[in-house]
């Protein structure tokens, strides 16, 4: 596996860990040992780490490059992935509204739906999209994509990204 794809896989692993931690957190909220208000921190992670850092790399770098190589991908799996990203943004907005309303039961259902959709999305990318990328591009091209990913993180504030990674890693 190349560094570019490794970076995306590693981000997926962290997102998956954050999903698991959030399920446990919501159980604590339901039994009264944690405050629903703390969910805002988790929404922040998914909005920023999963979307702003991870999805941004896919939307601005990887997917356009893949689409240039294969128009069928652009109209197929890549379009589906982009639609998923938009759906995730909408789902997080709904989750945030539910947190603000203090409705733990609805929140648990909404987060379960979000988590299931996100994990399915990750599986498609890991099992299909990233393998396609590795067959479409040469090693040099994938190295170039990797360095563009790093530039993207720097532009968005790589220290902030690292702090979110550490917070989930400790959780």
Q: What is the pLDDT of residues 77-118, one digit of tens each?
A: 999 999 999 999 999 999 999 999 999 999 999 999 999 999
How many domains is the chain partitioned into structurally? 1
Interior CA angle at 162 toward 67 and 8, to 5°?
A: 25
Domain encompassing residue 79: 3-170
Contact 2, 132 (CB under 8 A): no
Number of neighbouring beta carbons within 10 Å of residue 144: 15
Q: What is the CATH number of the domain that holds 53?
A: 1.20.120.520
pTM of the model: 0.96
How many Cα atoms within 13 Å fall on the side-chain side of residue 113? Answer: 13
Per-residue model confidence as pLDDT tens digits over 121-157: 999 999 999 999 999 999 999 999 999 999 999 999 9
DSSP letter, residue 32: T
Maximum Cα interatomic distance, the chain, rounded to a whole number of Å:
53
Q: What is the mean pLDDT of residues 23-37?
A: 95
């Amino acid at each position: 596996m190349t560094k570019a794809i490794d970076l995306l896989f590693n981000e997926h692993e962290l997102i998956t860990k954050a999903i698991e931690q959030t399920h446990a957190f919501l159980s604590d909220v339901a039994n009264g040992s944690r405050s629903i208000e703390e969910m805002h921190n988790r929404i922040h992670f998914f909005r920023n780490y999963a979307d702003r850092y991870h999805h941004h790399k896919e939307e601005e770098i990887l997917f356009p490059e893949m689409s240039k190589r294969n128009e069928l991908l652009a109209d197929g799996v890549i379009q589906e992935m982009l639609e998923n990203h938009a759906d995730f943004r909408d789902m997080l907005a709904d989750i945030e509204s539910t947190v603000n309303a203090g409705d733990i039961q609805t929140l648990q259902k909404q987060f379960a739906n979000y988590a299931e959709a996100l994990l399915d999305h990750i599986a498609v990318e890991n099992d299909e999209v990233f393998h396609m990328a590795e067959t479409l591009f040469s090693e040099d091209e994938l190295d170039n994509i990797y360095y563009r990913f790093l530039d993207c993180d720097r532009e968005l504030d790589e220290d902030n990204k690292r702090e979110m990674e550490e917070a989930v890693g400790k959780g």
